[in-house]
Amino acid sequence: MKVLCIDNDSNGLDVLMRAQQYGHEVMWFDQKRKNGDERRAGEGIVPKLRDFEKLRSRYIGWADLIWFPQNAMYVDLIKPFRQMGYPVYGANVEAARWESDRAEGQRIMKECGLPIIEGKEFTDYDSAIAYVRQHGKPFVSKPSGEADKALSYVAHSASDLCYMLGKWSKNDKYRKDAKEHGFILQEKKVGCEMGIGGWFGPG
């Protein structure tokens, strides 16, 4: 089998090593870092593809299986191939949106009858601070989309969260991320959080 991994954060190495060990042909496209540097993971261990045009024009058609180790990048690129029947293991456009747009993901889960923690979406920190002050209780802040995941925060109190939101509001990049991608505040629940993912069905 020919396995093409389309990656953006060097997550595919272990599976590709094992696939190669069992006699499969593999090719790994591992997107450059945001600063333009090449990723060096796995060099000399599995074949790496660095040319995006070659990925698009040659290797998508070469593969017996296309695999995304994450679920947000390149799903639009693969959508027409998925519709033609190419075997793709990974999120489709809709599933990627449910993951990256937190408010949309919450809406879908609620629509399906799943219990959710109610939340409110924001695109600026001043409005979020006013909301926290109005309610006077701790919330959890979660960024959406491609915003810096360092902006996830579980507050101990309302004043603790107001302090963090105020701190982030002074950072140009964080303000830009908030405006572009948004973030949600959810009521804080004490307990254990678990993430579960699965791919199923032809759609």
Q: Which pLDDT belongs to residue 150?
A: 74
Q: Which pLDDT belongs to residue 16?
A: 92
- Only one residue has tokens 């690129």, namely 77
pLDDT band for 170, please (50, 70, 90 cuts): very high
Q: Which pLDDT belongs to residue 133?
A: 94
SS3 53: helix
Q: What are the tens digits of pLDDT across the range 72-112?
A: 667 777 787 778 888 887 777 777 777 777 778 888 888 98
More confident residue, 198 or 1: 1
pLDDT for 48 beyond 80: yes
pLDDT for 203 beyond 80: no
In residues, how long is the chain?
203
CA distances from 2 to 29, 70, 79 (A): 14, 19, 19
Q: Which pLDDT belongs to residue 185?
A: 92
